[in-house]
Amino acid sequence: MHTKVVRRLVHTSAIVSILFVFVSCGTNNPSRSHSAGYGSAFVFMTDYMSAAVGVFRPDSASVDVLPLASVHTDVALRSYGGLVYVLERFGKDAITVVDPAVPTAPRANYSTGNGSNPQDIIVADAKKAYVLRLNTSNVLIINPQTGDSLGTINLAPYADPADGRPEMAAGVLENGTLYVLLQLLDTASNPWLWPPTGFGKVAAIDTRTNAVTNVFTLTVKNPVAMAVHNGTLFVAGGPYDDVSTTGIDRIPLPAGTPTRLVDGVSLGGRPTALEVCDQNNSAWVLVQKTWPTATVYRVSLTSGVTADSLAEPATPAAIAVGMDSVLLVSDRSMSVPGLFVYNAITGEKRRGPIATALPPDAIVFVKD
């Protein structure tokens, strides 16, 4: 995430019962089973005052809202090993572990530390995971089943001097190395807008020793998303006010030099999400333009050429690529929120919009 506004600073009183969603929206069908397996998608929905988590199967006609007791309004979703991790961010600082087969009975719920604001969790195996926390300088190592701490990794040496924190935003695990995205924002001088203090960085951590082995300096500022494809790390992001430092970088792993794949001028805005499509060596990229409009483009991961774009929706907020060449796109339209299903290879629209209880804000497919 890139500014304090986008991170949705909300009062904890905005946490509400899912019962409110049942009564006011009526998209849940209590007679249906909520069980979901590999290939299903979990969808976080919010209007910033209320929130819900639902299950969507790409061949279904509706989103099943899960009857959870309460859902925070600032949430990210991740999936590893067939489980879904619900990261409750600013003001809640917790992670809930959900078994898609029984999503109404969470396996675990644990704190990531008061005020820590968790942004990502990267699960190495059943007993070891890394939690990236925006408001600290340490990567938290935990047992993902229980939340028990296994130690920390200090990233303070790579922080900006403005606030002494590196602003960890995202991570990816590749061949035993954890790559952590560092935004390097000034969170101290302005309580609402967090400008980047310089170019973003990526810290490489050996998961066998938990030692930092390399730090890459990017050509983009305020990086927000990353993915690995064919031995190359791709990083997307950029500030609001400087197109020259906006775009997608590529880093040949394990120790190449970051170079620009495509810039913000070519994309027509700031890339805020990146989903790789392995079948055609490309990525679907969500590009923010003048708020709230955005566009989803397909970008070649070899040439950087923007091949085409999706005609709708006009206000996408999240994208996800799943099995059977499914590209799922959310539409945050406050009047008619919903999901669109596309062919991830061709970009052909399959279905949509499929109505959601609230504007969909995050999507994750259940992954083995």
Residue 272 pLDDT? 96
Distinct helix (H) and strand (E) counts, the chain: 2, 30
Residue 283 pLDDT? 97
**Average pLDDT for runs of 10 along the chain of length 368:** 37 31 34 64 95 92 86 95 96 95 92 97 97 97 97 97 95 98 92 90 97 98 97 96 94 97 94 94 94 92 90 94 94 92 95 94 92
Residue 270 pLDDT? 95
Residue 34 pLDDT? 55
The structure's pTM equals 0.89
Collect all residues with Cβ–Cβ distance below 8 Å to 20 and sequence separation of at least 6: 50
Residue 38 pLDDT? 75
Query: What are the sequence ranges of the domains in the chain?
Result: 12-52+75-365
Residue 139 pLDDT? 98
Superfamily (CATH H level) for 12-52+75-365: YVTN repeat-like/Quinoprotein amine dehydrogenase (2.130.10.10)
Residue 334 pLDDT? 81
Question: What amino acid is encoded at 171 in this protein?
Answer: G
